[in-house]
Structure 1
């Protein structure tokens, strides 16, 4: 793939489409029955830019987005990079403990969030300046002292300043099995090039194509594939946060969706529902592509959804917060059953043994990757960077194998991290919270796949006397998001106490 210039970056392309095809639909929000054209989205982003300007946001400073998927998320994201500021993109479902950890690392000068989320995290947000977007309900509690309500500020649209260099356009957080969140940055042209590399593997998309947005935009997979990609080719984003309450076949058929990404748990859910669906298959777009990401999807589940919908089997991709999507099954080439695919343009990969030597086809080894899509390292983590990033290669920690044609197949994760419901889980973090209980002495979190190859989180805690499963589960729920909570908790009496008896 050729090197890009700034004039080919995704914001430049979006602005071009807002001028050449202003009335084309950029976003159709099913939940709010809202349609936003490319021109209207640009105006909305320019209004957000005006609000940020009024609050004194200058180029190079960090602005945190703590918002659900929706038009506001997209408009403010475009506005932040259109000011030359740096978006810090956070999961809006984090607990107060998790949110305070990432904010302490990121130190944004402003947080953009909703009044509902502000009330939920009132104490956590107090030290920070906040811009509050209304959800329509009156606040039931006082806002933080440094908060301002967007609806009360004067409206002034300011044009977006298009990046003139390879600026940072996202800061996101991940885990590496060290018990704390790690900040990862991505740049303007690299994010664009990743989207272009993916598109080379897809049936051509563009004006008239419809992309079903179901992945969270706070994750790099959602941001790059579900927002940056469609807005840079003039496609329509079909958005909903309530897909699980809808008929998937009806949504795909009614809106003639051409591209959709679903995580494995959602695919399993709809497979179970579609088996019970009565009536004839609904007419789908003839080149509908459904992809899976976020974690490994067994081949039989991929094929099952295709049969139930009457379309091609689900294809897979692979990426990391550290790398953006870098491996994908091609919709225009040969598909190898169960594979994650092959590297996109601009990405190099190796599969190596414990000594860093390349292994033969069919042998299992650790996946190493490099290319412009790979972050240069974690912010302020020199020791971890020296271990994870060497000679330009990122050591993913994922064990894989390749067939004779270079298709990559997932085997397992080597680090003490895992994916639960397509979300990253750091086993060391869970153990550290369990050990906050005064009667807990040792803790061990581990993963056991169930009969459907779904990762199930287990926790064993060794402790004194009256330590109970309820004690541990209550403690974990106070600090951690629901997907990090173990399904099974085992309490083991201290060995010293057993011997004493």
Structure 2
């Protein structure tokens, strides 16, 4: 592996591959027949996107929000924003208008790049009052359902021009994303160019060697740091092919892995459970897979038996795990080239330090449970403009993760539970305080308590208990929550407790 002493980041490497291996496939889209993009074509596409940004007067240092699903456009515009010296603000395109408003009002991007459908959904937020001077609307129909306002432009109306990508100097911010920490509001996180590259390199040192000819199955959302770093930055910085699909759940996983000779895949635990159920019913012989196929799990904890089951059903090694946060990028990983420690998340990658401490901040012995603390160049110094949160979670140079873990005698880290008022539902972060605050918007709700109970498969299930008066019903609370929150944040059960009348002494 090349040391980062050369100050060569992932965009430098991508441009290098576009020159050395111009006809090598960078992206293969499974959802569109014969839809491939070579490294040369992806660079040209990124330069065209840079030309569009230039036409809209995007300047170095400007914040540009990407509100897009996985696809070539997302990747090309991300590369273009960095190659222009601007700052990508990467947002979950599935957010409700309420949720989108909360992050846009914090980030205040100058430009939003999105689709016509998403622009219509969030048009009240993509406005100058929230810092958005303009919106670039991609793939808009020649005659949109309603005319675009003056502060929005369809990409088809811009002159087709290319501008070269400028390679970053130093260690600029190349990602602003949002997370939750149980305080009821989103927190902005910034990651830097060389740090993101170093995280990718540190992971690679624990993997079977990847490069030109490797195929990476991309199923994770690129708006999350796990997907961005492992599923886009990593493969593009080693010359691999991104095999992209948004329809994996409708496909035969074994056929996809076999037919395309996949060498690397990341799946979240819910998807692994889903395919374990489907593959159990699959008939026929095991299909030939790449001899060094690596399947990793991230996003939330995966029980060891589920990891081993998928390996048996596919005829490959068990699923390995990694660990990271929006605040840190992936920093702990189980090695695919070393001895597997059953159920472990792995060991810290190069450049990461960790501690496991008790309630008084003292290091605990192997086998003892404590809170995980981490630090390193890929761990942020603090949230953007959030002094209270920084004082709580960043102390003496360490990020206090809120995750309770233990280590074995070899230093492998094992997950125990999360002690903050957050949890992962379908690999998405859920802030219990946020859910309670929305429930309290109902005029008849006096108290609300959200809580998590794992089911018999160790899957986190969200429940909500509300106390209120009047004719408060589950339906009314559910309707209110649906109006504000994304689907994965909606509780599976809602319990209503009626207020008891106060007894007054005579």
Question: TM-score scaled to structure 1, two decimals?
Answer: 0.98
> Could you say which residue in structure 2 is the equivalent of 1:73?
74
> Could you say which residue in structure 1 is the equivalent of 2:20?
20
Match of 2:343 among 333, 338, 363: 338
Q: Return closer, same or farther for 1:138/1:449 CA change in 2, 3 Å cut-off.
A: farther
Q: Return closer, same or farther for 1:400/1:146 CA change in 2, 3 Å cut-off.
A: same
Count of residues paired in the alignment: 500
Which whole-Å CA distance do the structure 2 matches of 1:222 and 1:137 have between them? 33
Which whole-Å CA distance do the structure 2 matches of 1:499 and 1:451 have between them? 46
- CA drift of 1:125 comes to 2.0
> Could you say which residue in structure 2 is the equivalent of 1:422?
427
Match of 1:399 among 404, 407, 421: 404
On the 8 A contact 2:182/2:432 being kept in 1, the answer is: yes
> Could you say which residue in structure 1 is the equivalent of 2:265?
260
> Could you say which residue in structure 2 is the equivalent of 1:250?
255
Which whole-Å CA distance do the structure 2 matches of 1:152 and 1:139 have between them? 12
> Could you say which residue in structure 1 is the equivalent of 2:185?
180
Is structure 2 residue 126 aligned with structure 1 residue 121? no
Q: Which SS does the other structure have where 1:8 is aligned?
A: coil
Q: Which SS does the other structure have where 1:123 is aligned?
A: coil
- CA drift of 1:425 comes to 0.3
Which whole-Å CA distance do the structure 1 matches of 2:220 and 2:177 have between them? 15
Which whole-Å CA distance do the structure 2 matches of 1:364 and 1:345 have between them? 24
Is structure 2 residue 290 aligned with structure 1 residue 285? yes
Gaps in structure 1 of 5+ consecutive residues: none
> Could you say which residue in structure 1 is the equivalent of 2:466?
461
Q: Return closer, same or farther for 1:356/1:7 CA change in 2, 3 Å cut-off.
A: closer
On the 8 A contact 1:5/1:189 being kept in 2, the answer is: no
- CA drift of 1:137 comes to 7.8
Q: 4+ residue stretches of structure 1 with deviation over 6 A?
A: none
Report matched runs for 1:462-477 at 5 Å.
Answer: 462-477=467-482
Q: Return closer, same or farther for 1:299/1:135 CA change in 2, 3 Å cut-off.
A: farther
- CA drift of 1:234 comes to 0.3
> Could you say which residue in structure 2 is the equivalent of 1:47?
48
Which whole-Å CA distance do the structure 2 matches of 1:132 and 1:6 have between them? 38
Which whole-Å CA distance do the structure 2 matches of 1:498 and 1:430 have between them? 31
Q: Return closer, same or farther for 1:23/1:411 CA change in 2, 3 Å cut-off.
A: same
Which whole-Å CA distance do the structure 2 matches of 1:37 and 1:255 have between them? 16
CA-to-aligned-CA distance 1:381-402 (integer Å, 9 cap, x gap): 1121012111110000000001
Q: Which SS does the other structure have where 1:36 is aligned?
A: strand
> Could you say which residue in structure 2 is the equivalent of 1:37?
38
Q: Return closer, same or farther for 1:496/1:10 CA change in 2, 3 Å cut-off.
A: same
- CA drift of 1:494 comes to 1.4
Please, which moves more after superposition, 143-152 or 478-487? 143-152
- CA drift of 1:110 comes to 0.1
Q: Return closer, same or farther for 1:387/1:208 CA change in 2, 3 Å cut-off.
A: same
CA-to-aligned-CA distance 1:408-432 (integer Å, 9 cap, x gap): 0000001000000000000000000
Q: Return closer, same or farther for 1:283/1:135 CA change in 2, 3 Å cut-off.
A: farther
On the 8 A contact 1:115/1:133 being kept in 2, the answer is: yes
On the 8 A contact 1:118/1:143 being kept in 2, the answer is: no
Question: TM-score scaled to structure 2, two decimals?
Answer: 0.97
Which whole-Å CA distance do the structure 1 matches of 2:364 and 2:136 have between them? 52
Which whole-Å CA distance do the structure 1 matches of 2:479 and 2:126 have between them? 24
> Could you say which residue in structure 2 is the equivalent of 1:366?
371
- CA drift of 1:157 comes to 0.6
Q: Which SS does the other structure have where 2:381 is aligned?
A: coil
Which whole-Å CA distance do the structure 2 matches of 1:6 and 1:111 have between them? 33
Q: Which SS does the other structure have where 2:238 is aligned?
A: coil
Which whole-Å CA distance do the structure 2 matches of 1:377 and 1:6 have between them? 27
CA-to-aligned-CA distance 1:88-139 (integer Å, 9 cap, x gap): 0000000000001100000000000011211222222244310000165853
Q: Which SS does the other structure have where 1:125 is aligned?
A: coil
- CA drift of 1:497 comes to 5.5
On the 8 A contact 1:26/1:37 being kept in 2, the answer is: yes
Which whole-Å CA distance do the structure 2 matches of 1:130 and 1:467 have between them? 41
Which whole-Å CA distance do the structure 1 matches of 2:190 and 2:102 have between them? 17
What value does the CA root-mean-square deviation take over the aligned residues? 1.4
> Could you say which residue in structure 2 is the equivalent of 1:493?
498
Q: Which SS does the other structure have where 1:295 is aligned?
A: coil
CA-to-aligned-CA distance 1:192-215 (integer Å, 9 cap, x gap): 000000000000000000000000
- CA drift of 1:31 comes to 1.1
